[in-house]
Amino acid sequence: MSDIQTDRPTAALALADGSVFVGTGSGATGIATGELCFNTAMTGHQEILADPSYAGQVVCFTFPHVGNVGANPEDEEATSAPAKKAAVGMVSRVEITPPANYRAEQAFEEWMRARGIVSISGIDTRALTRRIREHGMPMCAIAYDPSGAIDIEALKAAAAGATSMEGRELAADVARESGGDWTEGAWSWDEGFAEGPKDGPRVVVLDYGVKANILRLLVDAGARVAVVPGKTSAEDVLKMSPDGVVVSNGPGDPAATGEYALPTLKGLIEAGTPMLGICLGHQMLALAVGGKTIKMAQGHHGANHPVKNHETGQVEIVSMNHGFAVDGASLPEGAIETHVSLFDGTNCGFKLADKPVQAVQHHPEASPGPQDSFGVFKGFVGSLGSKTPA
C-alpha cells in the first residue's frame, strides 16, 4: 500500500447511475472507466486480470482475499505486447495481502501497478455483486489517489459517459500485429514449459486476444502452432496450408469484431477447413453461419460454471468469461447444439453437420474442473490430418 497517510478514502468507484462506493486504493493511480462485472473464482486472479478478454472491464472478485499468491511471469495470459490491455480495474472486499507462495516473484499490487490496473478494496462486494445480478453490468469509473483528492462529481460524470460494450470493437487493440510460430507447451511442476512437437498437424490460430494457455494446450495435443493477427484474410491463412484453424477468445462485441472478421471465417468454412472457435471465436463462428449474438445482463465470469456436454452426457465444470452469448434459437439448420449452460440454459457450444466446424463458449484451457475440458483440444487436434512440414 502507499506510504502516504490520509484520513480520507484513497479510492472510489462510481456507477453510471450515480452510485458511489469509497474505499482504499492500490495498483495504478488515476481513473479508469469500463464495464463492471463480477467473477466468482477463488484463485487465478493474475490470470483473470491478464486475460485480454477482459479488456475494457473492471472485475469485482466475489472471493474476499486477493494477493496471497502474488504474481509471476509464468502465469501471464497475454501473448503479445498490445495484449497488455486487459482488465482496467479491480474491486475486492479485503485489502490486497502480501504474497505467500513459493512461485511469487512480485507482489500483486506491484504487478497491477505495472499493468495500469486501478484497484479499490474495502467494498461490500456481496452487495455490489447482487446489484449486478439484479440490474446487469453497469458502466463505471474507478479512481485511486494516494492523497485522497478524488473529484467524486467528475468520477460520476466519467461513469455516466463511459462507452457501452454493445457495438464496441476491442479485439484489434489486444491482438498481435504480426504472425509467428508458438512452440511452448503446458507448464508442469519442477519441469517448466514443455517443448512443442517437430511434426504433427499444422494449426493456425486467428488472434483476437488469444490466451497463452490455449496455445500451450494445442501444442500439448500435438499441434504445430502458428499465430496470426485476427485481420488476416482467408486467402492468406489458406496459403499457410493449415490442417486446422482456431478462432480465439477476445474482448468486446462479437458483431463489431465480425465486421472485419466474418469474411475470413466464411471463406475458411467454405474452403472446408477444420475449425475450432473458443469464447469470442465461438460467437463469431455462430455469426458466420447465420446465427445471432445477444448482450447478457450479468454475463458469465467465473471458474465454477456447470456445462452439459450433449455428446458425452457429462457435466463439465468450466471457466467462463463472456458478456455476450450465442442465441441458440438463431442457429441455422445443420448447426447442432453440443453444450449448454446449466445455470441459465444459454448455448455454450455447437458444431456443423456438414462442415468440420465446432465451437465452445467456455475456456477449455482453464483448469477449474480441473481438466474437464482439455479434451476439446485433444479431440480437435486428433481429428486433423497432417501435411508435410515445409
Residues annotated as catalytic (active site), given as ranges: 279, 363, 365
DSSP for 272-287 reads: T--EEEETHHHHHHHH
The alpha carbon dihedral of 234, 362, 312, 343 has a sign of negative
d(C-alpha 153, C-alpha 164), whole Å:
20
- Cβ count within 10 A of residue 357: 24
Contact between 10 and 109 under an 8 Å Cβ cutoff? The reply is no
Q: How far apart are CA 246 and CA 225, in angstroms?
A: 10
Tally Cβ neighbours within 10 Å of residue 155.
20
Residue type, 377: F
Q: d(Cα 53, Cα 254) in Å, to the nearest integer?
A: 11
Residues 205/226, Cβ–Cβ less than 8 Å? yes
Parallel/antiparallel/unpaired status of strands 224-229 and 180-182: antiparallel
336's grid cell: 447442432
Beta strands in 40-116 (DSSP E): 57-61, 89-92
Whether the CB-CB separation of 255 and 167 falls below 8 Å is answered with yes
The DSSP output letter for 132 is: H
Cis bond before residue 274 (omega within 30° of 0)? no
- Rounded to whole angstroms, how far apart are CA atoms 341 and 344? 6
Name residue 188's beta-bridge partners. 192
